[in-house]
Each structure stands twice: as structure tokens, then as C-alpha cells.
Structure 1
Amino acid sequence: MLGITHFGFFLVAVFLLNLTPGPDTAYIVGRSVAQGRGAGLVSALGISAGCCVHALACAFGLTALLAASATAFTVIKFVGAIYLMYLGVRLILAKQDAKPAEGADRAAASSAARPLRQLFLSGFWTNVLNPKVVLFFVSFFPQFVGAESEHKALAFLLLGAVFVLMSTVWNTFVAWIAGSVTQRFSGKPGMKKWIDRTVGAAFFGLGVKLATTTR
């Protein structure tokens, strides 16, 4: 079908890849623990949107261009690393409210769209600006498309759609499980503060690791 080969192996490989923790998983877990399941689910959708960008880029040759250009790779690498470190510093330095402000429920309800949008965009950019994801798409996907295929772009798009679907299901599961931790620590600002700091430190560490990644 469209020149796709070894599709079963592709499914197994994607499943195993999802089991491997990375910046995307760390972001989803961090948001789920800090703000609940809803925040984790929105973050997962943002990451899935980022995967869609990579799938489209791979299908139309942009990913191959980035992988072939040392300058493009370096720019994306440092932008992604700086962004992850920025997220980490924000969590580490976040202030915890000792008491909920009066009328907080009304204020939260009126501004709910804004933080959800920010969570979605943060998840999106965390994925898009990760050069390892770029290299993964350009090195992994071509192995499952026959060189003689006359519909390579469609084959890449189909593989990308399957990848995004499987990743979304897994990330949703991760967000749901991690979000349950929030219920245990609700009303314990001291515990939440240390959770935020731990997750922030993990983000910062991932950013440093990303910045030192070589091709």
C-alpha cells in the first residue's frame, strides 16, 4: 500500500519509542502533576500537533534538508535547548500561593482559555524545537517506504498519521495517570513547590543535554 513496507515492525517500533521517556513525556508529566489531568491532556495535544509538523516536513522533504544542513541543525538545537531551560527556570522560580485569593474560582473560570492555550503552545514548541525528533523522522520513516514507490509523500503522511495517533493515545494515558498525583498533593503547597522544582530541574537538565547533542 503506497509502497509502505514492514508496517507491523513500524507499529512495534513506534510503541517501544513511546515507552522511552524524553522531553515530551517530561513536559506532559510535569504539567499533569502541577495542574491536573486537563493540563496534561492539553499538553499532549500540543505535542501531537508538533508531531504533525514533523510528519508534513518529512513528507515534503524539509526534514531531510534540515538533517543535511549543519547550520540548520545547530540553530534548532540551541533554540530548543534554550526553550526547555526557560521552562525549567520558570518552574523552579514559580511562587506558591499560601492561601487562595478570594474569588479565585471566578477568576480561574474567566481566564481558563488563556492558560490552556499556553500549555498547548508550550507542548507544541517543546516538540517542534527538538532536533532529535527531526532526525528521528528523517532517519526512521524512510526505512518503511520502498525506494520504488511512486507515492512517497502519501506514504510518509500515512506513517506520520499512525505515529501521531499512537503517540497521542500513549501521551493521553501518561497525562491521565500522572494527573492523579495532583489529587494526593492538593492543599499541600509545600509538596507542590518541591514537585515543581524537581520537574523544573529535569527540564533544565534536558535542555543542557539537548544543547550538547552532537549529530
Structure 2
Amino acid sequence: MLTLDQSLAFLAAAILLTLSPGPDNMLVLSLGMARGRLRGVAFGLGCALGCLSHTLLAVVGVSALIAASPLAFGALKVCGGLYLAWLGVGALRSRGGGAVSAARSTGMAESPRRLFLKGVFANAINPKVALFFLSFLPQFVAPARGDANLQTALLGLAFTAQAAVLFGLLGWFSGSVGAWLNRRPRAGMWLDRCAGVVFIALGLRLIVAR
């Protein structure tokens, strides 16, 4: 089991990393603003729970195999980049569905369940997250205190829990901006356009990154 000092040190580092600006934060914020707090929260929780797959990979050591195989890592990297680019194209084609009411009236709004699954999938296929877990979690494992695999699993669960709380709060409070966008459909349209550009840029960056 994890000691109190071990847990506090890990949570402090995990919260700091989760709060730092990054793709997940940006996507949760933009979805919460564009499509309402419920959808922002759903996508944020999906992103957080996607970390469970990387925890499992870290425990069984598959992430190390991916890191050691340029072909496997390259294929996963390209798939993740293409998926982000596909999300960006969808946002660029939006007809101003940034506001919740506008999205519903045009049929462009996705259900919270679908956005939750998208968040899980987008995080689960991200090779950078897999490598991050492989390098981050073991730093807080103390083999002398017990089963290293069990400690790794508990650390991964703790990271997922704090990410779910922080992303959920981000999605919830960003939704208040959505009420303002409901009264300004064109602002929502341009927000979708900006989000689409960001999605595509992140996807291309993931594909070409070394």
C-alpha cells in the first residue's frame, strides 16, 4: 500500500501536471464553452478515465514494448494524430453549433455519452500519455514497501481520480460561458472554427513529432 508521504508527494505532482496548460485542458474548456457544461464535464471525465488504460499498460509493461518498437509507436502516433485531425475537421464544418441551443436546433450537438466515449478514446490512443505514465508513475514507487505493480496501479487510480475531479470542475464552470454564447450564435460558430484549427494543429503536431 502507499504511505501518506508517498501519496501526498504524488498527488501534488499529479495536480500540478493536470492543471498545467495542455491539449486535454483546452479541449474540455472549449467543449464546455461551446456545447454546455454537461458535455464539457462528460468529455473531461472521459479524458480522465482514459488514463486507466495507460495505468494497465504501465503495470503490465506493454508501454515499454511500445517505446522500444519504433514501428508500433509510429503507428499509434499516426492513428492518434489522424483522430485529432478528424475531430478538427468536424468542428470546422460546424454550422455555429457552439451554443447549446443552436447545436440542438441544427442537430449538430452530440450526446454527453458520445462525448464521454470520445474523451476515453482520445486519451487511450495517445502514445504520449502512455509514455508519460511509464516514466512518471515508477518515480513514486518504493519497491521496499511492497508489490511494485500494486503501487503502480494505485498511483494510476489516484491520478485518474484527481484528473476526473479537476476536469469535471473545468467543464462545469466553463459551461457558464455557454449561456453567453447561446445568445450569440456567430460567436459560437467562430469558437468552433478556432477549436477545429487547434484540433488539426495538435493532430499534425502529434504525427510529425519525434
User: How far off is 1:185 after superposition?
Assistant: 1.3
CA shift digits 1:50-87 (9 cap, x unpaired):
11111112112222222222112111111111111110
2:180 alignment counterpart: 184
What amino acid sits opposite 1:73 in the alignment? F
Matches within 5 A, 1:58-97: 58-96=58-96
Q: Which aligned pairs between 1:88-167 and structure 2 lie closer than 5 A?
A: 88-96=88-96, 115-148=111-144, 150-167=146-163
**Letter in structure 2 aligned against 1:57:** L
Shift of 1:3: 8.4
Find the counterpart in structure 2 of residue 32 from structure 1.
Answer: 32
Q: 1:47: which partner in 2?
A: 47
Query: What is the deviation of 1:7?
Result: 3.4
Q: Secondary structure at the match of 2:24?
A: helix
SS of 1:21's equivalent in the other structure is coil
Paired residue type of 2:43: S
On the 8 A contact 1:3/1:148 being kept in 2, the answer is: no
TM-score by length of 1: 0.86
| C-alpha contact 1:91 1:196 (8 A) present in aligned 2 | yes
Give the superposition deviation at 1:150: 4.6
Give yes or no for contact 2:96–2:192 (8 Å, CA) kept in 1. Answer: no
Unpaired segments of 5 or more residues in structure 1? Answer: none
Q: How many residues align?
A: 205
- Residue identity over aligned pairs, in percent, reads 38
Residue number in structure 2 paired with 1:198: 194
Q: For 2:87 and 2:21, how far apart are their aligned partners in 1?
A: 18
TM-score (norm 2): 0.88
| The 10-residue stretch of structure 1 (141-150 or 128-137) with the greater mean CA deviation from structure 2 | 141-150
In structure 2, runs of 5+ residues without a counterpart are none
Q: Is the 8 A contact 2:96 2:190 kept in 1?
A: no
For the pair 1:173 / 2:169, whether they are aligned, the reply is yes
How many angstroms apart in 2 are the aligned matches of 1:150 and 1:60? 17
CA contact (8 A) 1:23 1:126 kept: no
Alignment-mate amino acid for residue 153 of structure 2: L
Q: Distance in 1 between matches of 2:13 and 2:122?
A: 22
- How far the C-alpha of 1:148 sits from its partner, in A, is 4.5
State the superposition RMSD in angstroms: 2.4
Mapped partners of 1:94, 1:162: distance in 2: 37
Q: How far does residue 187 in structure 1 lie from its aligned partner after superposition?
A: 2.8
